[in-house]
A and B are shown apart, each in its own frame.
Chain A
Amino acid sequence: MVATPRHTMGDRMPRKEDGRFIRGKGRYVDDIRLPGMLHSAILRSPFAHAKINNVDASAALELEGVHAVITGADLAAQGLAWMPTLAGDTQAVLATDKVRFQGQEVAFVVADDHYIAQDALELIEVDYEPLDPIVDSRRALDEDAPVIRDDKEGQADNLIFFWDAGDREATERAFQEAEVTVRQEMFYPRSHPAPMETCGCVADYDISTGEMTVYMTSQAPHAHRTLFAIVSGLPEHQIRIISPDIGGGFGNKVPIYPGYVCAAVASLILGRPVKWMETRAENLMSTSFARDYRMTGEIAATRDGRILGVRSKILADHGAFNAHAQPGEQYPTGFFPIFTSCYDVPAAYAEATGVYSNKAPGGIAYRCSFRVTEAIYLMERMMDVLADELEMDPAELRRKNFVKKEQMPYVSVMGWEYDGGDYHAALDEALRIAGYEQLLEEQRRAREEGRIMGIGVSTFTEIVGAGPGKKCHIAGIEMFDSAELRLHPTGKAILKLGVKSQGQGHETTFAQIVAGELGIPAENVEVREGDTDNTPFGLGTYASRSTPVCGAATAIVARKVREKAKKIAAHMLEAAEGDLEWTGERFQVKGSPDRGVNMEEISFAAYTNVPEGEEAGLEGVTYYDPPEMTYPFGAYICVVEIDKGTGQIEVKRFIAVDDCGVRINPMVVEGQIHGGLASGIGIALMEVMDFDEEGNHLNSSFMDYLTLTSMEAPKYELGETVTPSTHHPLGARGVAESPTVGSPAAVVNAVVDALSPYGVRHVDMPLSPNRIWSLLRENGVGA
């Protein structure tokens, strides 16, 4: 007989949630079918900027099978035509006055099935009067630029914000006094998280009870319920958001989209469940984009490579409505101020200008913790520009400027306190795995043979796990997170969380945390999340916050439960609490290992034999507010070869050493790293959302919005160092985004290194064959 596996904290436990997915039994929003459910489709603007003179839905309403057509005017009558965004701006639910980006929501059709709803869209007549669009953010503040947000009182231009941070004068001085300064402009283009499952919901309003249940592709169901209550005026306790299985999020499922609101309104009007599910084009065109930062980086340094100051300037395109994902109004550039990264920089200054444009709203953190991706890309590109200027090895330059582990806990010049880190060790490990010296030798040979080969290094620290609540909030709600744990009489546990997995494997890893704390097998812990009626209030899963915040809550609630268990154990063993010790498996009387009870026995006693003065049951709840964020870090090396004839880049090797502190499940961590690398490499090579001069979206399908396939994905070579977080109860940090943060610069650095013999110092992403081929031709390479 095969022994039943008992897994705990730290094990490579195969995932508990796999069973339903490999059988085709996952339950995603689009799989939900309720009795009487209707379907919907959204009419979207063909123009990037146009005045709406009239919307005539009469013909659509006459089509058989159509139940309702909702227009902006209808919503305006209910005061619902506009909704608040995460950044404190407003966004049109359905356009009333103007359309402000191509793909904007104009009308919502409800019908018996999706095909009829689509037919009805064709019958809606909209009288548009096209206006001059702003597509290039560099034109947004021109004198004669059309004002996009003329709906906002007092808004006379397209400026959203001006922001700066750091010590401007000290940085200026550093630049004046420095022996060497370098400067580089770069563009981090617009991209999209594009999870395999698009966004959607089923809104189900029950007229008889007044309850509104919304099954929704939500990374943050509790926060969404509160926002729903605020927007709709429905009482919060009668709204239930259920986020079932989610087919990937990557930040795309953090905001509230007009489709959710329209489906809820339609269900309220019709008294029937209404499903809304985006097409892929709608997902790419209208839901949150990421990045779109035009940046200038500057470094001041000594001749021998000591950094004296860093400066950056950003032009941020936030689209037509400012729906930027940010942990509070004090962070209009998110965590960009982390840009001094893992380097000991004495002076730094950053400034940013945020503007409206006639493009989709957003600025969400695509597999990223609030703009840290842009910050690290800037810094890592600049390090290579400096290395090039100094004719210094890029790895050496980095090593020279790292914060040393003796400096931990280090407070950066921008005011961030790092929870430990050994950047030298991570880089050394990456160089060792890569065989750096041999690689350099190989490159020399390749160049002699006329092959174009490049090596790129990228070292970084991330910043993940928002809170603390006093520093970070969403719509005023502090960014804590929660866990509720109950042990049942037979010692089996249910753990309920305020976060929500979209593939991260919480049902396994969080069970492992409980297992580690209570000495029961992870197999005996069921994890529940994503239902606001049945889980404690939490802020959700994004910006790699689940493990740092909710993982900590889980460890702490388990420890609370263990405290109570100790009282019961003392009673059972007829010993004083002080005489008991916890072995990791059970409580036993110090010095008498034969006298002990395990958690299963204690659980049973909690319901059958509680000591006097104690309540029955064995459970607890914790709302954990982290004292600081966590700072996972890494060292990446990318090796590329470029085809002279086609400009095609092949990623030959990718080495990633990550330090996310203690790993709860190394298998899951590695899987997260693989996925993050694929996104980061994809962003560097091919993922981009472009627009023509009229504001037409040029990448609205997977034919044009290219993501990495199995053919381009390299074989990842992973390594690790383990530096426990100084404040996390398990010593753990978030990890799923580090690879997306760190890898684009490694790829670009490798490509620039490959092309450096031809005088190339920088190339903007995406590094498409076309772009590289042109560069090669310009520099006289190839036919």
Chain B
Amino acid sequence: MHIQVNVNGEMREADVEPRLLLVHFIRDYLGLTGTHWGCDTSNCGACTVHLDGEPVKSCTILAVRADGHEVTTIEGIWSGTGLTPVQEGFHEEHGLQCGFCTPGMIMTATALLERNPDPTEEEIRAAISGNLCRCTGYENIIRAVRWAADHRTAREEVSA
């Protein structure tokens, strides 16, 4: 099947098998390897991307379902040298170790902060509960998201 997907603001097209998963389309067809794959059962969230602005696990979605839609991956949320507050927060608060879960976590956290710019710890825990991390014990990921929330507000105030 022929599909056209707007990925990170660029129109990409390909002929794909109907069974191809979106995660494989992103990684293998587009070479965007920042989106990871970590399980067979849609439990880990390493593959999280945004589909029309909503976080989704790209291993649960067929590539053909994304035809005509917008997909944003980790590579699409930063430009050139500029990082987003969420990315900076992960660095500042040591929210990553091996980095494998990190892109998925960042995509989930980014979507959370768009919906809820000032989340409580409980809300952050709930938001990332579908993303597994085997390295950090989550504590610093939660702090990273809080860091982003604090600095995002600060930035908006400055630019306002």
Contacts and interface: CB of A to CB of B under 8 A. Distances in A.
A324 interface: no
B134 A194 contact: yes
Contacts of B27: 30-31
A713 interface: yes
Interface residues of B, number: 58
Contact of A703 (B41, B103, B129, B141): B41
Given A504-B97, A671-B140, A24 B133 contact: no
A715 B88 CA distance: 22
A701 B39 CA distance: 7
A152 interface: no
A285 to B, nearest CB: 11
Interface string A222-249: 0000000000000000000000011110
A675 B125 contact: no
A279 B125 CA distance: 27
Nearest to A715: B139
Interface in B103-139: 103, 106, 124-126, 128-139
B142 interface: yes
A15 B94 contact: yes
A502 to B, nearest CB: 6
A185 B77 CA distance: 54
A280 B134 contact: no
A196 B90 contact: no
A250 B100 CA distance: 14
Interface string B18-32: 011000100110011
B35 interface: yes
A562 B99 CA distance: 34
Q: Is chain A's binding surface mostly helix, strand, loop or mixed?
A: loop
Interface in B32-63: 32-41, 43-44, 46
Nearest to B133: A196
A346 interface: no
Given A22-B106, A671-B97, A14 B91 contact: yes
Contacts of A30: 27, 33, 36-37
A668 B94 contact: yes
Contacts of A279: 40
A391 B113 CA distance: 52
A713 B134 CA distance: 12
Given A503-B135, A709-B129, A711-B126, A23 B74 contact: yes
B20, B83, B97 pick with most chain A CB within 10 angstroms: B97
A23 to B, nearest CB: 6
Contact of A28 (B17, B92, B100): B100
Nearest to B99: A21
A247 B134 CA distance: 9
A636 to B, nearest CB: 14
Contact of A677 (B35, B46, B137): B137
Name the prevailing secondary structure of the B interface residues: loop
A672 B139 CA distance: 11
Contacts of B142: 710
Nearest to B124: A710
Most interface-central of A33, A670, A677, A710 (chain B CB within 10 A)? A710
Nearest to B43: A702
Interface in A631-687: 667-668, 670-672, 674-679
A44 B133 CA distance: 28
A676 B28 CA distance: 34
Nearest to A701: B41
A250 B41 contact: no
Nearest to A249: B98
B97 A503 contact: yes
Contact of A24 (B20, B32, B131): B32
Nearest to B17: A115
B71 interface: no
Given A22-B87, A194-B134, A195-B134, A702 B41 contact: yes
A197 interface: yes
A247 B139 contact: no
B104 to A, nearest CB: 9
A458 B88 CA distance: 37
A113 B25 CA distance: 12
A218 interface: no
A299 B107 CA distance: 52
A18 B91 CA distance: 6
A15 B91 contact: yes
Contacts of A504: 97
A675 B87 contact: no
B53 to A, nearest CB: 18
Contact of A710 (B33, B94, B103, B141): B141
Contacts of A19: 91
A675 B92 CA distance: 17
Nearest to A367: B134
Contacts of A676: 137
Contacts of A15: 91, 94
A711 B134 CA distance: 14
Nearest to B86: A22
A716 interface: yes
A707 B134 contact: yes
Given A14-B94, A195-B98, A248 B135 contact: yes
Interface in A1-57: 14-15, 17-28, 30-31, 33
Nearest to A193: B134
A729 interface: no
A281 interface: yes
Contact of B39 (A28, A679, A702): A702
A24 B33 contact: yes
B135 A281 contact: no
A14 B87 CA distance: 13
A529 to B, nearest CB: 14
Nearest to A703: B41
A246 to B, nearest CB: 6
B38 A31 contact: no
Residue among A18, A30, A711 with the highest chain B CB neighbour number at 10 A: A18
A769 interface: no
A580 to B, nearest CB: 39
B64 interface: no
A505 interface: yes
Contacts of A672: 97
B124 to A, nearest CB: 8
A434 B18 CA distance: 57
B43 A703 contact: yes
Interface string A689-730: 000000000000111000111110101100000000000000
Among A22, A195, A672, the most chain B Cβ lie within 10 Å of the Cβ of A22
A178 to B, nearest CB: 40
Contacts of B38: 196-198, 247, 280
A757 to B, nearest CB: 31
B7 interface: no
> Which 9 A-B pairs give the minimum distances between C-beta atoms?
A24-B34, A503-B98, A21-B99, A247-B100, A24-B74, A674-B137, A678-B137, A503-B97, A702-B43
Interface of A: 14-15, 17-28, 30-31, 33, 113-115, 193-198, 245-248, 250, 279-281, 502-505, 667-668, 670-672, 674-679, 701-703, 707-711, 713, 715-716
Given A21-B103, A22-B96, 15 more contacts: A14-B91, A15-B94, A18-B96, A22-B90, A114-B24, A195-B134, A197-B36, A245-B99, A247-B99, A250-B134, A280-B38, A668-B94, A677-B137, A678-B138, A701-B43
23 contacts: A14-B91, A18-B90, A23-B87, A24-B34, A24-B74, A30-B36, A113-B28, A115-B20, A195-B98, A196-B44, A196-B134, A198-B38, A246-B98, A280-B38, A503-B135, A671-B140, A675-B136, A678-B136, A709-B129, A710-B128, A710-B142, A715-B139, A716-B137
